[in-house]
Structure 1
């Protein structure tokens, strides 16, 4: 009952406007005075940051901080599939009959997630997926799980429900409803989708390979873009970043990838560590 009431209240809130407003505030110089409080409240490991806390000009600069060089070594095996971000594994498994698991007893479809026709998403049938939740304390840059070439991307407008435990419980099909920016990588693992899911108070998602791509766009419309030329990316190469926390969903084609036996729901992972391997 409590989740139902909270969800109805959330539906009444202008979440896009609120997210843009908070994102705008976080980019103003005055916001830097909140960095120490933000760090304490969310227990952020500030010693990992590239710069000292007060060298950041705004709260947004701090939130999207880079890490000290060498702090996240990338798995070196040529067959390694690595975590694209710091976070916790919320769900993983096989894509069966086009379904991905959101939570116990709750599923959503791969074609809705990727903004494709069901026939276009057929290559992912029988493939693997993994959902990684990034909390406010985490490093918020997103990296390539495999080596390959960035070929295209999609921006799919949608809702901005929270992606925390409440959102996952209360909103069916959450990750296929919230707005998202999807980077497609062509690789030895076939076509890989790196889905960056927006959420309440996520100012936006930015990527380095396109100045036009982003999320939380006013009056947003579906955008599907083939890049003028494919952009090479190394395993662990940076794709973009979240301005405030959210979720990454990885999708792999059938028969291309297997996850490590040690993987389980709730496991904390660091960007660059091996989470699976390519089928040889």
Structure 2
């Protein structure tokens, strides 16, 4: 048995939510010597580039979470053309949505219906469209931005497990992104419907959005939230953030011509052009 498969298997019996909440408490600790030690150790282990941060002094952050969700300098992530990467990370998989199925990793596909919390009508909008999955590693910038300008129509919280979403786990845990806790954000755009799914993961203590603040953790039931007033976000604007790392899955009703230079596991930066919509 490979180490990657062993790592995936030992996660099944772990109390994912309890472990994540405990880590979340530690990440919110305001004891100066402790949070500073945690931040410095993290920067050293993961080789975090603090030169990009709006606040480069690690000790200036009130908590580890404040450091982890740090703002970047305005010029650090220029916006490209067309469809933008919503986050820093690895573009793990991308391409056309075929018969409601999206590729998770070699040998593993997952259902758009399952990803959206069982909403077959919403999933139908994306038949023949395109998708992309971006994995945010611990060293990455952890704010998520709009790949296109859009108006929020609905937010859906879907409860689930909190498996790790690193490469080892995505290759060995079937239906991973549709099993984990996640926040499904539906938008209308000039290219048709778009959904951005913020997928929780082990030790991800919470997911936040700019329109609702901290959303997770919630209860064990699917919760649908609509908004009385339209919430419009411009292309490249911040939409949310992860308190510790995870994955973004985005899908579009329109077909995307992805950049020829991209390949599975390509490193991408927030604001980088991923491609353009066909017939746009």
TM-score by length of 2: 0.93
Gaps of 5+ in 1: none
Q: Counterpart in 2 of 1:48?
A: 52
Counterparts of 2:162 and 2:70 in 1: how far apart (Å)? 23
Counterparts of 1:148 and 1:6 in 2: how far apart (Å)? 38
Q: Counterpart in 2 of 1:162?
A: 164
Cα distance 1:258–1:34, how it changes in 2: closer, same or farther (>3 A)?
A: same
Deviations 1:81-122 (A, max 9, x none): 100000111001111010000111110011111113334311
Contact 1:98–1:125 (CA<8 Å) still a contact in 2?
Answer: yes
Q: Counterpart in 2 of 1:253?
A: 253
Deviations 1:196-252 (A, max 9, x none): 1100000111001114x62233x4321111111221111000001000011001101
Deviation at 1:5, TM superposition (A): 4.6
Contact 1:259–1:276 (CA<8 Å) still a contact in 2?
Answer: yes
Q: Counterpart in 2 of 1:37?
A: 41
Q: Counterpart in 1 of 2:222?
A: 222
Deviations 1:146-194 (A, max 9, x none): 0121221111000100001121122100001001012112101211111
For 1:70, what is the secondary structure of its paired residue?
helix
Counterparts of 2:152 and 2:139 in 1: how far apart (Å)? 28
Deviation at 1:274, TM superposition (A): 0.9
Contact 2:5–2:168 (CA<8 Å) still a contact in 1?
Answer: no
Q: Counterpart in 1 of 2:136?
A: 134
Once structures 1 and 2 are overlaid, which stretch shifts more, 117-126 or 47-56? 117-126
- 1:145-184 to 2 correspondences below 5 Å: 145-184=147-186
Q: Counterpart in 2 of 1:123?
A: 125
- 1:107-118 to 2 correspondences below 5 Å: 107-118=109-120
Q: Counterpart in 1 of 2:70?
A: 65
Contact 2:116–2:122 (CA<8 Å) still a contact in 1?
Answer: no
Gaps of 5+ in 2: none
Contact 1:125–1:254 (CA<8 Å) still a contact in 2?
Answer: no
Contact 1:123–1:254 (CA<8 Å) still a contact in 2?
Answer: no
- 1:197-208 to 2 correspondences below 5 Å: 197-208=199-210
Cα distance 1:47–1:106, how it changes in 2: closer, same or farther (>3 A)?
A: same
Deviations 1:31-78 (A, max 9, x none): 232111110101111111111211111111100101012211112x4x
Counterparts of 1:159 and 1:23 in 2: how far apart (Å)? 16
Counterparts of 2:221 and 2:178 in 1: how far apart (Å)? 15
TM-score by length of 1: 0.93
Counterparts of 2:238 and 2:153 in 1: how far apart (Å)? 15
Counterparts of 1:267 and 1:120 in 2: how far apart (Å)? 29
Pairs aligned (count) = 274
Residue 238, structure 1, aligned to residue 238, structure 2: yes
